[in-house]
Amino acid sequence: MIPHDVRLTYSLSPGWMTPFVEGLSKGDAVARRCARCAFVSFPPIRTCECGTAEGNWVTLSGTADICFRTHGSAGDFALVAFDGADTKSVVRLEKFPLVQTAGKLLPQEIPLPALVLHPVKGDLPT
């Protein structure tokens, strides 16, 4: 076998998803609302199931409830329902206690626009 190291440095543009990506960096859940049927998708869907590509950007509260979660070698992930969204979202859970079932997006310091849910203090069940 011949070892061969390749490094790739991309310059990525978010394109039509720019409001979503910029929102994540600020900790905002910027969703897409269909101009025709008002269906709210987060992450945003460009063309709604109703067939309409026209839509508006709306900022949700950024809070979400966990529906299903998985933990393992790559970290903790969950299928969550963001308040105000008609779709569910897959997120990374950051330092999330097993007993906690809700969380919030927070401003990010990393350059990549990752959907990361953080536990909210005081939200633990009593």
Partner 1 sequence: MSSDLGVSVCGAALTPYNRRKDGSNFRDWAFDAFEQALTLSTVELRDIDALFVSSESDFFTYQLNPASVLASDLGLRDVEILRCEGGGASGQLAVHAATRALQSGRVKHAAVVGVDPSASHLSAETMTSLYGYSFDAWTDGMTGLSSTALYALSFQTFRESCKVSDKDLAAIVIQNRSNALDNPNAHLGRTHTVDEIDQSPLIASPYRRLHCSPLSDGAAALILSHDTHKPQARRGAAKIAGIGSAVDTLHLGARADPGNFSAKTSAMNSACKEAAILPDTIEIAEIYDAYAGAQLQSIQALGLSESIIGDLNSGRFAPGGQCPINLSGGLLGQGAPVGATGVGQTATCALLVEGTYHPALQPDQPPRYALADTHGGICTTAAVTILKNGEVA
Nearest to 27, CA basis, from 63, 67, 75, 77 = 63
97 touches partner 1 (CB under 8 A): no
User: How many chain residues interact with partner 1 (CB under 8 A)?
Assistant: 34
50 touches partner 1 (CB under 8 A): no
14 touches partner 1 (CB under 8 A): yes
Nearest to 65, CA basis, from 19, 105, 102 = 102
Q: Are 64 and 91 in contact (CB under 8 A)?
A: yes
Residues that bind partner 1 (CB under 8 A): 1, 4, 6, 14, 17, 21, 41, 43, 45, 49, 67-75, 77-80, 87-92, 112-116
